[in-house]
Amino acid sequence: MGKRRKPKPKIYELEIEALSHEGRGIAHLDEKVIFVSGALPGEKVVAERVFSRAKFEEADVVEVLVPADNRIVPKCEVFGICGGCSFQHLSSEDQIEAKGAWLKDAFKQQAKIEPKNWLEPLQAQVWGYRRKARLGVRWVAKKDKVLVGFREKKSGWIANMDRCEVLHAAIGEHLVDLGECIERLSIKSQVPQIEVAIAENNTVLILRHLEPFSAEDEQILLDCADKLGVSFYTQSGGEETVKALGESVTLTYSHPQHDIEMAFLPTDFTQVNFKLNQKMVSLALDLLALDKDDKVIDLFCGLGNFTLPIARYAQYVVGVEGDSGLIERAKANAQKNGIQNADFYKADLFKEVAGFEWFRGKTYNKALIDPARSGAIEIIELLPKLGVERLVYVSCNPATLARDTEKLIEIGYELETAGVMDMFPQTAHVESIALFVRC
């Protein structure tokens, strides 16, 4: 695929008619659809074109001539430049209302259906919530400064930011300190990235480096770690090269309502918003309506984020995941929490699974699935064969949830309940949950 060619500069006045599913304003001009970043329905704006095709263009707001009634002042000074957020000009309440509308549209357009019941939107912490992130790092000679932060929206450059309002304060308030620490390294131009993993008990920063650190560099980092209360890990190549600089630490998060503590590695997938995650898991368990006779299967189970809480209330639960490392940690977490009625298996759920022990001749009356953005079309077709009567589907993509809903209806399930959850406030990301019941 060729590079996006930058169109010739064009400035135009636009009246914004609606909000797209990516959080951009929608306008029409000269028989073209214009998607305008930073604009809200009902506004009149001056915008600059940044991309053009035969039937649509993309633009950025230059000036708001007539603001919408619900426009607010963004909290972050680099909002509109930084690519980390896209929705700070809209209140958190209005954001989640928009996301609910997008989910409703997805169901109507793809599956031609609405749920029988809509859940109240699930919200928790909306600022300083983000505990997992990948930050860019760049030594800028002209500024004589190392920048640490998210990349700009329209380029690979690092946004010049002193703090981040959505990152957890353990890191979000210390971007300048991190930059100054890296400035002191002999290889400051060879550190392109920091992977952030903030647990309830510790904070780990994985430094990607293209050349080896000297002994003096390592001491600088250890001193910085003590000052900031963090632990540095280093990564010279692939994920297998990640190692602690000094002593390794244990990372944990919890589900106190269900007496569960989860241990994880800095490179493991975990939800970015711990408070919302606790609410989400409790909601999923309520929708499953668990009792001690239930046999449950949790597909795409990861570390056992849902599996282990389910085990507290069901007769038996099986977790299935494609990553062998996550399965090992899920088993260890089950043992750590004294759970004996949960088993975990490794399997690629996008391939044939009929021969696996957990599938062959087994039945489960309830199921939970939490797939990646691509959805779970391959595995949901097998749910009737497993005997699943009640299914909770957690989704990070309304489009694939709606597509999979169409298939679930086709194979005999009804869409009972659905709703949105604000896992990523200040962004257009939509997390949702749906309950299906066998007809």
85 is in an annotated binding site: yes
List of residues 6+ apart from 431 with CB closer than 8 A: 280, 394, 395, 396, 420, 421, 422, 423, 424
125 is in an annotated binding site: no
301 is in an annotated binding site: no
| Catalytic residue list contains 396 | yes
Residue 59 CA to residue 64 CA, distance in Å, equals 13
The label of the residue with tokens 């604000």 reads 422
181 is in an annotated binding site: no
378 is in an annotated binding site: no
Residue 238's Cβ-side half-sphere holds a number of Cα atoms within 13 Å equal to 1
271 is in an annotated binding site: yes
321 is in an annotated binding site: yes
At 33, the amino acid letter reads V
CA distances in angstroms from 253 to 262, 284, 334, 371, listed in the order given: 5, 18, 14, 21
**Cβ burial, residue 78 (10 Å; 0-12/13-18/19+):** buried
Residue 299 CA to residue 308 CA, distance in Å, equals 13
Residue 288 CA to residue 282 CA, distance in Å, equals 10
Task: List the catalytic residue out of 181, 301, 396, 439.
Answer: 396
Closest alpha carbon to 295 in 310, 280, 285: 310
**Cβ burial, residue 109 (10 Å; 0-12/13-18/19+):** exposed
Question: What string of H, E and C letters represents the secondary structure of 139-171?
Answer: EEHHHCEEEEECEECCCCCECCCCCCCCECHHH
Residue 123 CA to residue 120 CA, distance in Å, equals 9
439 is in an annotated binding site: no
Q: Per the annotation, where are the binding residues?
A: 76, 82, 85, 164, 271, 300, 305, 321, 348, 370
Catalytic center residues: 396
Q: Per the annotation, where are the binding residues for [4Fe-4S] cluster?
A: 76, 82, 85, 164
Q: Per the annotation, where are the binding residues for S-adenosyl-L-methionine?
A: 271, 300, 305, 321, 348, 370
